Amino acid sequence: MNEELSPTQNRRDFLKTTTVVAGMTVVAPGILLYSVSQAYHEGAVSSDKRWGMLIDINKCSEGCNICTNACTVEHGLTEHVRDDIKPQWIRKVGLRDKQTGREFSLPMMCQHCENPPCTDVCPTGASFKRADGIVLVDRHICIGCRYCMMACPYKARSFVHEALENQKPHTPRGKGTVEACNLCVHRIDFGHGKKPACVEACEKTGHGAMLFGDIKDPNSEIYKKLREVSSTALRADMQLNPGVRYQGLSL
Amino acid sequence: MKNVNFCVIEGKSLGFYVGMAVLSFFILLGLFAAYNMEHHGHVITGMDNQIVWGMPHIFAIFLILAASGVLNVASISSVFRKVFYSPLARLSALLAITLLIGGLSVLLLDLGRPDRLLVAMTYYNFKSIFAWNIILYNGFIAICVLYLWFMMERRMQRYYPTVGLMAFIWRLILTTGTGSIFGFLIAREAHNAAIMAPLFIALSLSLGLAVFLIVLLIDCWGTHCSLGEGILHRPKTLLGVLIAGVFYFVLVYHLTHLYFTGRHGVEYFILAGGGVYTVLFWGGYLFLGTILPLLLLYHERFTHCRISIGLASLLTIIGGFSLLYVIIIGGQAYPLNIFPGKEIISSGFFDNATVHPYTPSSWEIMLGISGIAISAFATMLALKLLPLLPRSLADADIDDTFKD
């Protein structure tokens, strides 16, 4: 028996169906995206790791700039600019002990502090520390105020003073923003165990002055070494607990 | 209490138009400088990776401090109930707004990415004193607008002391925040000191009053408004006290540093071996900005002369500028002590420099001056549109109550 539906019922059904379909169309992708963003995926950054470096200054050769050169090539820091505005993600510093007169040199870069003053002062949160201890700058929200450069005790940051060309796809940089050593985060995240460029270059020359790894992993070489030898944190008095330590340096 | 008549400035004289034209020219110069700094990058400035904050920051912080301090006059009248200052309260609140706008404009235009203003206003890291300052500065402008409205609107008069108190407390917090931008820098020996906050508060009070007195003298000269000796006498005496207050904090700051062996290096740098910074400290701040104005304000021979009040105010500003230059630039010029006990013999990043050199570029100075021009332009425009200046400030027009 055919049931004749009244126009009112027809309209009601139509509205019901439309609402359900529209609701699902709007909400479902949102739920999907949320679940994707919340899903744990292998290799996600976690605080179970802390990337760090141990630099043996007795193995660091004076006059050798292989680490700084490797960094320049890796990140495309090749712009020809005045020395005072040149980007310096890593630099070599020559030192002499005031008491003993002993001379030595060491590479100096962002120390990837546990309590970084640069992230404390950054007004927008562009300077941030990842869960695995790497201190980075989000170039999308850096406003170029340079307060982090004022705050860094290691003078580890540079400001991009000029327009850049020929940037490397894995190292986005931008005029008017601040940058620093990122521990070659692209290698860590997507390099399948590749070490930072400076460490790799130092190893290749046979100096092996730079040891990189997870300082929380009891099986890692750096973990074992840090337990075995005495190491120094620069400006330890500030209690920043840097991820970069120096072996053979007494301050 | 005698009623005070307020009026707008006529704004039809040749002087007004010439003034506005000159200020517009300086504003355009500043915008041109900002455009070039944005287009070419900061390479065209004297700032680099060692001296990261330069001349624009001196101008900006000067204007921000003056903005907070210029509210003195309004605060004294509403918070401390000294009605003597009431006729000047409107001008005081107006200047607080315009000076802050000028200072913030310079700060914004100096950013590496001024186009990201929206980011700065929407992303907040609440551990950063800089982020707090963004809120404090905007809040201060809002409160001062409210303050000015309540002063001018008869129906709101009863709330006027409340908002006055709010503005007073707010500006103390604001200047604490500005001083703490430097005070919280653990790595910089010249900056890292809690006394920076009260020092900046004292400096804001003296700079603000000095700016106020200069604006008052210029306004009354330009508008032919009679200005009695009585109305100048009290702020003048107060200015002397505030200059002495700044000196006290500067003295304690340096004594503290001299006491700490670890800071002898930076103290020697500022006080004796720092070249331009040493000259600016002793000559600019101490002699020109402290001793001379105090002499002009208190010595029997000069104290009654109107020119000496204007000159003392101008010298206070010069002294404040010098002090800010020494603190901000000098503090960066002195190298960081990254390796205590070690002598740096070579570095790819100037770690071995005994001093980081800095020469401000004309772009920076143009940008800085435009901040002052923006403040002055906005002030003149507001005075033309709103009745903020008393019709007369002659002694005869000031009631006995005021004289109290």
| CATH at residue B18 | 1.20.1630.10
Q: Give how many domains chain B has, as a whole number.
A: 1
Cβ separation B120–A123 shorter than 8 A = yes
Question: Is B137 inside any structural domain?
Answer: yes
Cβ separation B344–A81 shorter than 8 A = no
Asked whether residue A65 falls in the same domain as residue A103, the answer is yes
Pairing of strands A90-97, A127-129: unpaired
Question: Is B1 inside any structural domain?
Answer: no
User: pTM for this one?
Assistant: 0.90
On whether the CB atoms of residues A180 and A157 are closer than 8 A, the answer is yes
Average pLDDT of chain B?
Answer: 92
Contacts of B53 in chain A (CB under 8 A): 146, 150
**pLDDT at position B288, please?**
98
Query: Predicted confidence band at A41 (pLDDT cuts at 50, 70, 90)?
Result: low
**pLDDT at position A82, please?**
87
Cβ separation B42–A176 shorter than 8 A = yes
Query: Predicted confidence band at B1 (pLDDT cuts at 50, 70, 90)?
Result: very low
Lowest mean pLDDT segment, chosen from A150-154, B26-30, B169-173, B304-308:
B304-308
Judged against a pLDDT cut of 60, whether residue B404 lies above it is answered with no
Contacts of B184 in chain A (CB under 8 A): 121, 151
Contacts of B351 in chain A (CB under 8 A): 91, 93, 108, 155
What number of helices (H) and strands (E) belong to chain A? 7, 10
Asked whether residue A57 falls in the same domain as residue A127, the answer is yes
Question: Is B277 inside any structural domain?
Answer: yes
Among chain B residues, the shortest Cα distance to A121 is held by B128
Q: Give how many domains chain A has, as a whole number.
A: 2
pLDDT, tens digit, for every residue of B315-367? Answer: 999 999 999 999 999 999 999 999 998 999 999 888 988 899 999 999 999 99
Question: Least CB-CB distance to A176: which of B112, B130, B336?
Answer: B112
What's the gap in Å between the CA of A84 and the closest CA on chain B? 6
Asked whether residue A102 falls in the same domain as residue A197, the answer is yes
On whether the CB atoms of residues B225 and B390 are closer than 8 A, the answer is yes
Question: Is B197 inside any structural domain?
Answer: yes
pLDDT, tens digit, for every residue of B246-280? Answer: 999 999 999 999 999 989 999 999 999 999 999 99
Asked whether residue A11 falls in the same domain as residue A130, the answer is no
| Domain with A84 in it | 51-247
- Reading the block at residue A210, the tokens are 């730079």
3-state secondary structure B133-196: HHHHHHHHHHHHHHHHHHHHCHHHHHHHHHHHHHHHHHHHHHHHHHHHHHHCCCCCCCCCCCCH
Cβ separation A153–B338 shorter than 8 A = yes
Among chain A residues, the shortest Cα distance to B331 is held by A150
Question: Least CB-CB distance to A143: which of B40, B112, B336?
Answer: B112
C-alpha angle with apex B96: B94 to B100, nearest 5 degrees?
120
Question: Is A201 inside any structural domain?
Answer: yes
| CATH at residue A138 | 3.30.70.20
**pLDDT at position B398, please?**
62
Whether A151 has its CB under 8 Å from any CB of chain B: the answer is yes
A234 torsion bin: left (phi>0), alpha (psi -120 to 50), beta (else): beta
| Domain with B59 in it | 6-337+344-398
What's the gap in Å between the CA of A148 and the closest CA on chain B? 10
Nearest partner of B175 among B332, B327, B66, B319, judged by Cα: B66
Question: Is A45 inside any structural domain?
Answer: no
Cβ separation A159–B49 shorter than 8 A = yes
Asked whether residue A110 falls in the same domain as residue A151, the answer is yes
Asked whether residue A32 falls in the same domain as residue A144, the answer is no
Asked whether residue A34 falls in the same domain as residue A88, the answer is no
Whether A121 has its CB under 8 Å from any CB of chain B: the answer is yes
Tell me which residues of chain A, numbers 73 to 102, contact chain B at a CB-CB cutoff of 8 Å.
81-86, 88, 91-99
Average pLDDT of chain A?
Answer: 91
Question: Is A46 inside any structural domain?
Answer: no
Lowest mean pLDDT segment, chosen from A16-25, B33-42, B120-129:
A16-25
B176 residue type, one letter: T
On whether the CB atoms of residues A64 and A91 are closer than 8 A, the answer is no
- Rounded distance between C-alpha atoms, residue B72 and residue B76, angstroms: 6
**pLDDT at position A39, please?**
56
Asked whether residue A85 falls in the same domain as residue A193, the answer is yes
Contacts of B127 in chain A (CB under 8 A): 119-120
Asked whether residue A23 falls in the same domain as residue A129, the answer is no
On whether the CB atoms of residues A175 and B112 are closer than 8 A, the answer is yes
Q: How many A/B residue pairs have CB atoms within 8 Å? A: 181
Question: Is A177 inside any structural domain?
Answer: yes
- Rounded distance between C-alpha atoms, residue B298 and residue B317, angstroms: 18
**pLDDT at position A202, please?**
97
Question: Is A85 inside any structural domain?
Answer: yes
On whether the CB atoms of residues B308 and B302 are closer than 8 A, the answer is yes
Cβ separation A94–B123 shorter than 8 A = no
What letter does residue B392 receive in the DSSP assignment?
A: -
